[in-house]
Amino acid sequence: MKKTVVALAIMGFGLSAAQAQEMVVKLGSVAPLTGTISHLGKDNENGAKLAVEDANAKGITIGGKKVKFELMGEDDQADPRTGTTVAQRLVDASVKGVIGHLNSGTTIPASRIYNQAGVPMISPSATNPTLTRQGYKGVFRTIANDVQQGGVLGKFIAGPLAAKTVAIIDDRTSYGQGLADETEKAVKAAGGKIVAREFTNDKATDFNAILTKIRGAKPDVIFFGGMDAQAGPMLRQLKQLGVDTKFVTGDGGCSPEMIKLAGEAIGENAYCSMAGLPLEKMPGGTEFRNRYKARFNMDVQIYSPYAYDAAMAMIKAMQAANSVEPAKYLPELKKSNFQGVTGTVAFDDIGDIKDGAVTMYQFKGGSWAAM
């Protein structure tokens, strides 16, 4: 009770008896809110924010007290070092759980901080398999991992696209390189040949040198493992070089921003994968899209539905345990099984989402169309 009074004291004076029984519960949200993929980071934060607002509107009671959830947003700048710094900041602020991070490269090192502090975390977007294979009990994700996604990509490239030769580029991040590695394995397993393997970084804007090399290899398909901030300009430069090869990328490039950045260079020979179902096919997707637009005056980018479900999973686990303390609600979080916006939210033994779906998209009529 003493902790509750202290937490409320900073909110002002003249508290009513009802307010005095209110318990403030802090949840963290971490994503890149500045930089080239800040639009994706804000999308994640907005998804978690909408869940917190919905929970507060319900007047949830836990342990005999009305709970007010507060979301503490942090910017990790898609940088691993900054990621661990803000993770420690959230731990020091006594958050009861974290929704994040966005990138695998920041999420994996940050997960060690949360694990040491006993703070559960759920990433709505980090897909590198390593995240949930570290043996940490409180690490989860609400999206399919790169083994699942890379397998689908490789089979799609060698199957429907009938590619015999493939060039692969990655951005050398945990996400980009990891997805590229899994895609390469699947292409080879399906009988395809890798004729070039190049890399760039997640800050680059000039890809002419590696694209010129790849042009000489004349691949049937070019695959890029990375984010939309690089994928869009890469398509532009391919067009400038006169390369009209099929271009495939993963969920990091499967966004409206990718289309905007590519401009006239994008056409029906561009494809991307998305972990999960198309928004319109998600059980709560259409309603979520409309509510999101009305609340934030912007369209869903990629991961906000998964961030919403991640926050709701945490809140529902606290309700089931009748406690906001991580050690008490973590067992309930592991047992999660509910219908979320994205589908059934349930985790396997290591914290991966069960039965994670992957959908392929093609650019058609100005947008990404599910195949």
**Domain stops at, among 220, 253, 275:** 275
Residues 59, 48 within the same domain: yes
Residues 114, 90 within the same domain: yes
Model pLDDT, residue 11: 35
Can you tell me the distance from the alpha carbon of 233 to that of 338, in angstroms, rounded to the nearest whole number? Answer: 40
Q: What radius of gyration do the chain's Cα atoms show?
A: 21
Can you tell me the distance from the alpha carbon of 80 to that of 95, in angstroms, rounded to the nearest whole number? Answer: 20
Residues 130, 152 within the same domain: no
Residue 286 resides in a domain: yes
Residue 70 phi, psi (nearest 5): -125, 135
Residues 164, 271 within the same domain: yes
Q: Is the dihedral of CA 278, 281, 282, 286 positive or negative?
A: positive
Query: DSSP letters along 29-69, please?
Result: EEE--SSTTHHHHHHHHHHHHHHHHHHHHHT-EETTEEEEE
Residues 81, 112 within the same domain: yes
Residues 23, 138 within the same domain: yes
65-75 vs 61-62, strand pairing mode: antiparallel
Kindly give, in sequence order, each residue whose CB lies less than 8 Å from that of residue 16, ignoring residues fewer than 6 positions away.
none
**Domain stops at, among 259, 275, 291:** 275
Mean pLDDT per block of 10 residues along the chain (371 residues) reads 36 45 95 95 98 98 96 97 98 98 97 98 96 98 94 96 98 95 96 97 95 97 97 96 97 94 96 91 96 97 96 98 98 98 97 94 95 93
Residue 294 resides in a domain: yes
Single-letter amino acid code for the residue at 229: A
Residues 63, 114 within the same domain: yes
Query: DSSP letters along 77-131, please?
Result: TT-HHHHHHHHHHHHHTT-S-EEE-SSHHHHHHHHHHHHHHT--EEESS---GGG
Residues 164, 258 within the same domain: yes
Residue 64 resides in a domain: yes
Write the CATH number for 36: 3.40.50.2300
Kindly give, in sequence order, each residue whose CB lies less than 8 Å from that of residue 164, ignoring residues fewer than 6 positions away.
192, 193, 220
**Domain stops at, among 253, 275, 297:** 275
221-225 vs 246-249, strand pairing mode: parallel
Residues 20, 91 within the same domain: yes
Residue 354 resides in a domain: no
Q: How many CB atoms lie within 10 A of CB 109?
A: 16
Residue 261's domain comprises 147-275
How far is CA 19 from each of CA 62, 78, 111, 118, rounded to the nearest angstrom? 15, 38, 34, 29
Can you tell me the distance from the alpha carbon of 248 to that of 170, in angstroms, rounded to the nearest whole number? Answer: 12
Count of the separate structural domains present in the chain: 2
Residue 371 resides in a domain: no
Residues 207, 303 within the same domain: no
Residues 265, 152 within the same domain: yes
Residues 264, 310 within the same domain: no
Model pLDDT, residue 35: 94
Residue 239 resides in a domain: yes
H/E stretch holding 144 reads: none
Residue 356 resides in a domain: no
Residue 367 resides in a domain: no
Using CA atoms of 53, 59, 63, 64 in order, give the dihedral in degrees to the nearest 10.
160
Model pLDDT, residue 276: 84
Kindly give, in sequence order, each residue whose CB lies less than 8 Å from that of residue 43, ignoring residues fewer than 6 positions away.
300, 301, 302, 303, 304, 307
